[in-house]
C-alpha cells in the first residue's frame, strides 16, 4: 500500500519551447506534479490517472517512468492533451492551452474500481481540473469512496471538479482567491479571504470539512481550522517560473502532516516548497535541500 495517492482527472504533457529553439517536455497535471515531488522526498506515492493509447498517452507514460512516478492507470479511449508554452526572449510566456477531452460515461465504473484498488492510503489528494461533466462527477465519487474507507481527503481542484468534490465533504480544501469566490457564490476581494473562508467552513463543517487552506500566491497562505487560523508568509525569492508552485505546496503540506508536523509547521514547509519551485524551471522538480534552504530547518 502506498502512503499517498493522487488523483488527476485531466493529465497532460507540458512542452515548453525555449528561445534557443530547444524545448523541455514533462508529464503534467496537478496530481502528477505532486506525485513527482513526493517521490523526490522518498515517499511512497501512487498517481491514479486516466490514460489512453494515443501518441501523447504513450509519451506521458515514458515521461512518468523517467521521473520514477508510480502510475495506476485507468484505460480510456481519449488521448492525453498536450499544452505548449512558448517562452520569449524577454521572459514572457505564451501558452496554447488545451482543455482536454472528457471520459465516456461507460468508462466511469473503471475509475471507481481503480480508486478502490489503490485505497486505503494515509491521504488522498484530488488535484486539478476535470475536462468535462463526467470526469467532474467522479471528483464527488472519489471523496465519498475515500470517506467510506476512512481515508482523509485533500481537495485541490477547480471548476466543476471543485464544486462537485466540495459537496461531498472532503476533510480539507485548498482554494485560491478565485476558487474561494466560486465556492462562496460571490467575488471575494483581496483582504476578505479569511472572513469568507470562515463562513464557508462553518457552513460545510457538518458535511465533514475540517479546514480550508487559502493560497495567497506570493503573499503566502492561511489555514482556517476549527481551532483557529494560522498564517504563513511565503519566503521572498526571485521568481523564474511560478507554474507548479501550488502543486509543490500541496505535496509538501501532506508530507509534513502525515510525518507529524503541526498545522503551523506544515504550512511553513508548504510555503517554502512553493517558493522553492517558483525560482527554478521546469516545474515541480524541487528536492528536500531546496525546501530546507528556505525553511531554515529540516523536513521530517
Say which residues have a Cβ less than 8 Å from residue 174's Cβ, sequence separation at least 6: 154, 155, 156, 212, 213, 214, 215, 246, 249, 250, 253
What are the tens digits of pLDDT across the range 257-267?
Answer: 999 999 999 99
User: How confident is residue 1, by pLDDT bands cut at 50, 70 and 90?
Assistant: low
pLDDT confidence bin for 255, thresholds 50/70/90: very high
Report all structural domains of the chain as residue ranges with CATH numbers, in order of start: 4-295 (3.40.1190.20)
> In the predicted model, is pLDDT for residue 140 greater than 80?
yes
Measured in whole angstroms, the distance separating CA 268 from the mean position of its chain's CA atoms is 17
Give the global pTM: 0.96
What pLDDT, on a 0 to 100 scale, did the predictor assign at position 263? 93
pLDDT of residue 91: 79
CB 174 within 8 A of CB 193: no
* Mean pLDDT on 115-129: 96
**pLDDT at residue 218, as a whole number:** 86
Once rounded to an integer, what is the mean pLDDT over residues 168-189?
Answer: 97
Number of alpha carbons in the 13 Å side-chain half-sphere of residue 234:
25
Mean pLDDT across 157-171? 98
Name the 3-class secondary structure at 10.
Answer: coil
Amino acid at each position: 500500500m502506498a502512503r499517498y495517492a493522487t488523483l488527476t482527472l485531466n493529465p497532460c504533457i507540458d512542452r515548453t519551447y525555449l528561445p534557443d529553439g530547444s524545448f523541455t517536455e514533462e508529464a503534467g497535471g496537478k496530481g502528477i506534479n505532486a506525485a513527482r515531488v513526493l517521490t523526490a522526498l522518498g515517499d511512497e506515492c501512487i498517481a491514479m490517472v486516466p490514460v489512453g493509447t494515443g501518441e501523447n498517452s504513450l509519451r506521458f507514460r515514458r515521461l512518468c517512468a523517467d521521473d520514477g512516478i508510480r502510475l495506476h492507470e485507468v484505460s480510456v479511449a481519449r488521448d492525453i492533451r498536450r499544452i505548449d508554452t512558448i517562452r520569449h526572449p524577454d521572459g514572457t510566456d505564451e501558452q496554447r492551452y488545451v482543455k482536454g477531452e472528457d471520459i465516456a460515461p461507460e468508462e466511469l465504473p473503471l475509475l471507481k474500481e481503480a480508486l478502490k484498488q489503490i485505497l486505503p492510503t494515509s491521504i488522498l489528494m484530488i488535484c486539478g481540473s476535470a475536462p468535462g461533466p463526467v470526469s467532474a462527477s467522479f471528483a464527488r465519487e472519489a471523496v465519498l469512496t475515500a470517506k467510506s474507507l476512512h481515508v482523509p481527503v485533500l481537495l485541490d481542484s477547480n471548476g466543476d471538479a471543485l464544486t462537485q468534490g466540495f459537496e461531498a465533504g472532503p476533510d480539507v480544501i485548498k482554494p485560491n482567491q478565485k476558487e474561494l469566490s466560486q465556492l462562496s457564490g460571490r467575488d471575494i476581494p483581496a483582504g476578505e479571504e479569511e472572513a469568507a473562508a470562515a463562513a464557508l467552513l462553518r457552513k460545510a463543517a457538518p458535511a465533514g470539512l475540517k479546514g480550508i487552506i487559502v493560497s495567497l500566491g506570493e503573499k503566502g497562505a492561511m489555514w482556517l481550522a476549527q481551532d483557529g487560523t494560522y498564517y504563513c508568509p511565503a519566503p521572498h525569492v526571485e521568481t523564474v517560473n511560478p507554474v507548479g508552485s501550488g502543486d509543490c505546496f500541496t505535496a509538501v503540506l501532506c508530507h509534513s502532516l502525515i510525518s507529524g508536523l503541526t498545522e503551523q509547521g506544515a504550512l511553513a514547509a508548504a510555503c517554502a516548497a512553493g517558493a522553492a519551485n517558483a525560482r527554478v524551471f521546469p516545474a515541480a522538480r524541487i528536492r528536500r535541500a531546496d525546501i530546507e534552504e528556505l525553511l531554515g530547518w529540516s523536513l521530517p
